[in-house]
Amino acid sequence: MPLYEFLCTKCGLTREILCSVSGDMAPEYMDCPRCGNDKLKKVPSVPSDPQVKDGTPKFYPKGED
């Protein structure tokens, strides 16, 4: 099951939710946990980089800019 990001159209909270391939959410995730809004919009997710460990990309050594 793919991971999708959903944006609350009222308060702006973004959350990741596991959904079916069609993008359908389970009923318990249909409302925003912060404000209770039932209007969530699917937004594009940024793919993760498998080379990133502990938040530091492999090609950027720690402590160097």
In a domain, 26, yes or no: yes
In a domain, 39, yes or no: yes
User: In the prediction, which pLDDT does 64 show?
Assistant: 52
In a domain, 59, yes or no: no
Helix (H, G, I), strand (E, B) or coil at 18: strand
| Residue 16 near residue 4, CB atoms below 8 Å | yes
Q: What global pTM score does this model have? A: 0.59
Rg (CA), the chain: 16
Q: What is the mean pLDDT of each successive set of 10 residues along the chain, which is 65 residues long? A: 84 85 66 90 73 60 55
In a domain, 56, yes or no: no
User: In the prediction, which pLDDT does 43 show?
Assistant: 85
User: In the prediction, which pLDDT does 27 show?
Assistant: 60
| Residue 57 near residue 51, CB atoms below 8 Å | yes
Tally of structural domains, the chain? 1
Question: How far apart, in whole angstroms, are the C-alpha atoms of residue 12 and residue 64?
Answer: 33
User: In the prediction, which pLDDT does 54 show?
Assistant: 67
Give residue 8's domain range.
3-43
